């Protein structure tokens, strides 16, 4: 019988709750120990999942007996410290993004991972999606000569309605904003498919209060010699609209609404490539299987800390702004 791996969770907000629900359906990953800085969040979680063991602190989760892996779903500031404590305990780490607010600490952690062969990955959900696989195939000649990438995002409001309980930090410039939370997923896809992106021009629009996160972003990048346009804003009537289009000389591939996938040949009609809900389920299930591979020290498709830091470096360059004339 295959071994069951015990998971400790730190952070029981929206992402922590979603992961608990997914873990409950997996054959080999079992949530065991949990902690959150908010006692009410911990109490609600224990009411919904009475089999879980509450820990007295984040450090107590990491030190819990029988644990194999740690899932970190806190705001980004403590990610590096928690990861390093988990490495000290011999655990595999699966961390939420954004990876960090301290690039130097992240680089030191990445050096430690590389030197020690440590097991660490970051939760970019599209890493296990059929859409990413289709984009990779297209980039390798499936749609002819690559011509352009278009990334479009829109939100009725930010944070999105379902994030209301996640904390004020999501609405603030220091750690939050839609670029770090959502655009980063598509910059990950871009850089996994085409390589490191260069920011050629970027115009973020910030509220005048000096504290709130961006309200809009327009940018031009280049990746693998392919021009990339980004248009994103808190606008419109859809809670969460996103579209990533890769255009080639003989066709195009489009990733839409996260896991939806469609393709076209030439100037023909867009043809859906399977049911979006089924592809979401498949991608999420595969991600957990890849997590098992990480724990076991086998090859996997999850992004490591170095790849996640490269994504964040691009995001932070976009947020810093760059005039179109500075090329």
Q: Find out whether 103 and 256 touch, Cβ atoms under 8 Å.
A: no
For residues 221, 219, 131, 293, the Cα torsion angle rounded to the nearest 10 degrees is 70
For every residue of 101-113, DSSP letters joined together read: S-HHHHHHHHHHH
Global pTM reads 0.94
- Find the CATH number of the domain harbouring 76: 3.40.50.720
Residues 118, 131, single domain; the answer is no
In the numeric block, which tokens belong to residue 246?
């890769």
**According to the model, what pLDDT value does residue 163 have?**
80
- 47 in any annotated domain: yes
- 193 in any annotated domain: yes
pLDDT reading at 326 higher than 60? no
**According to the model, what pLDDT value does residue 2 have?**
84
pLDDT reading at 234 higher than 80? yes
User: Where does a domain end: 122, 150, 174?
Assistant: 122
Residues 161, 86, single domain; the answer is no
Q: Which domain holds residue 94?
A: 5-122
pLDDT 10s digits, 142-199: 999 999 999 999 999 999 888 876 668 889 998 899 999 999 999 999 999 999 999 9
**According to the model, what pLDDT value does residue 164 have?**
73
**According to the model, what pLDDT value does residue 167 have?**
64
Q: Which of 25-39, 63-77, 118-132, 262-276 has the lowest mean pLDDT?
A: 262-276
pLDDT reading at 246 higher than 90? yes
How many alpha carbons fall within 13 Å on the CB side of residue 272?
10
Mean pLDDT of the chain: 95
Residues 177, 91, single domain; the answer is no
pLDDT 10s digits, 68-117: 999 999 999 999 999 999 999 999 999 999 999 899 999 999 999 999 99
Residues 113, 133, single domain; the answer is no
H or E segment at 29? strand 29-35
In the numeric block, which tokens belong to residue 326?
């500075």
**According to the model, what pLDDT value does residue 161 have?**
85
- Find the CATH number of the domain harbouring 187: 3.30.360.10
The separation between the first and the last C-alpha atoms of the chain, rounded to the nearest angstrom, is 58
Bond into 250 cis (ω within 30): no
């Amino acid at each position: 019988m295959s071994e069951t791996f015990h998971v400790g969770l730190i952070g029981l907000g929206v992402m922590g709750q979603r992961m608990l629900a997914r873990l409950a359906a997996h054959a080999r990953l079992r949530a065991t120990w949990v902690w959150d800085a908010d006692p009410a969040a911990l109490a609600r979680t224990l009411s919904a999942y009475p089999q879980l063991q509450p820990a007295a602190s984040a450090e107590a989760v990491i030190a819990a007996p029988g644990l194999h892996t740690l899932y970190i779903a806190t705001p980004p500031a403590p990610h590096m410290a928690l990861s390093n404590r988990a490495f000290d305990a011999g655990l595999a780490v699966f961390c939420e993004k954004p990876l960090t607010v301290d690039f130097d600490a992240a680089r030191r952690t990445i050096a430690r991972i590389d030197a020690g062969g440590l097991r660490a990955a970051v939760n970019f959900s599209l890493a296990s999606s059929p859409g990413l696989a289709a984009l990779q195939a297209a980039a390798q000649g499936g749609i002819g000569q690559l011509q352009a990438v278009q990334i479009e995002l829109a939100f009725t409001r930010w944070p999105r309605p379902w994030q209301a309980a996640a904390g004020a930090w999501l609405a603030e410039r220091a750690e939050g904003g839609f670029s770090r939370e959502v655009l980063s997923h598509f910059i990950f896809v871009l850089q996994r498919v085409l390589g490191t992106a260069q920011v050629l021009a970027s115009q973020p629009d910030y509220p005048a209060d000096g504290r709130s996160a961006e309200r809009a972003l327009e940018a031009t990048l280049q990746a693998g010699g392919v021009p990339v346009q980004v248009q994103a804003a808190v606008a419109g009537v859809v809670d969460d609209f996103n579209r990533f289009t890769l255009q080639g000389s003989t066709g195009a591939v489009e990733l839409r609404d996260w896991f939806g996938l469609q393709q076209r040949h030439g100037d023909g009609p867009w043809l859906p490539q399977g049911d979006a809900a089924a592809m979401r389920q498949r991608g999420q299930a595969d991600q957990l299987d890849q997590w098992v591979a990480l724990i076991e020290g086998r090859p996997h498709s999850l992004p490591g800390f170095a790849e996640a830091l490269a994504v964040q470096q691009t995001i932070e360059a976009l947020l810093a702004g760059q005039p179109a004339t500075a090329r």
